Structure 1
Amino acid sequence: MARIRCHYTDCVFLDEGYCSAAAVEIDPDTGCATYSPTDAAAKDAWDEEEELDEWEEEELDEDEEETWDEEEDEF
């Protein structure tokens, strides 16, 4: 049986650096279609997504402040 070395660190099929899935599907464009993140990794990804939303909101607020500052300078 072939052993497939896996570079994902958070896959449920990862076993000492090798894939332990019964069957593996590889897509040349997207990579491993068998990859399935662990529950902890999925929660971390959600937290990162929420954090990105917060950063985007802060950037929008800063842009609005800059617009107001520019308008005040004109007077």
Structure 2
Amino acid sequence: MPRIRCHYTDCIFLDEGYCSAAAVEIDPDTGCATYSPVDGPAAEAEWEEEEEELEEWEEEETDEEDLWADDEEDEF
């Protein structure tokens, strides 16, 4: 049986990154017609955790860019 990798993070059929639905319908214009969002705070909490991780990465990138800028100024 083929496995379908799913990029939705809040679908009720999501099982370790793969779709567990018995049948999947894909619409080329709108995407997965089988998608059903999970109701409840668990999905929202997971989304908030991902947003926090992204913010941390952005802060780290900004810090690294500042270091590069300092190095370039020292060279001249």
**Deviation at 1:7?**
7.0
Residues in 1 aligned to 2:5 and 2:68: alpha-carbon distance in whole angstroms: 44
Unaligned runs of 5+ in 1: 1-5, 20-24
- The count of corresponding residues between Structure 1 and Structure 2 is 61
Residues in 1 aligned to 2:27 and 2:48: alpha-carbon distance in whole angstroms: 25
Match of 1:36 in 2: 37
User: TM-score, normalised on structure 2?
Assistant: 0.53
User: TM-score, normalised on structure 1?
Assistant: 0.53
Unaligned runs of 5+ in 2: 14-19
Larger Rg: 1
Identity %: 43
CA RMSD of aligned residues (A): 3.1
